[in-house]
Structure 1
Amino acid sequence: MRLDNESFIYGYLGVLIISVLIIIWNTIHGKPYSDLSSIICASIASASFFKYKKNKRMRSLFAGLLAASASIACLILYFAFGA
């Protein structure tokens, strides 16, 4: 179980790093980037809500709400201006 958890963390970190590099590249070249930003924020929101469900810490709930709001905002930007 611990190996699965650690491998998931490293996999998530790899996806996050590549996504941030693509976002930087797209920003420099004037291409839309809010699609990847939305995916990253949705992932953070999901993880935060799961943590809140398990430990009931308000900071996890706050992080989840903040990340979910950012994800929705990025999706709106993408569909309104980026597509």
Structure 2
Amino acid sequence: MTANNKEFISHPLIKDDSIVRREYQETIFISCLSHNCLVVIPTGLGKTIVALMLAVHRLTEYPESKVIFLAPTKPLVNQHFESF
């Protein structure tokens, strides 16, 4: 926990203190591990974070695999870049 009571996701492939841990995102992530998923939640609630968590999980489980992360706008590309 940090001084402002936010808990961050900690993983060697994710920059420190860049992703706040949210229970609903973890629930979606766990569901997507065992099923094909289409994540539909409002803007700003963490679709990108869920995708990032899945990518990190895949790269951890299968280190030789590759992940392609696409985004339709430059701001989203920059957001993704800053998280890894």
TM-score category of the 2 structures, normalised to the smaller one? 0.3 to 0.5
Q: Which has the larger radius of gyration?
A: 1
| Higher-helix-fraction structure | 1
TM-score norm. by structure 2 comes to 0.35
TM-score, length-scaled by structure 1:
0.35
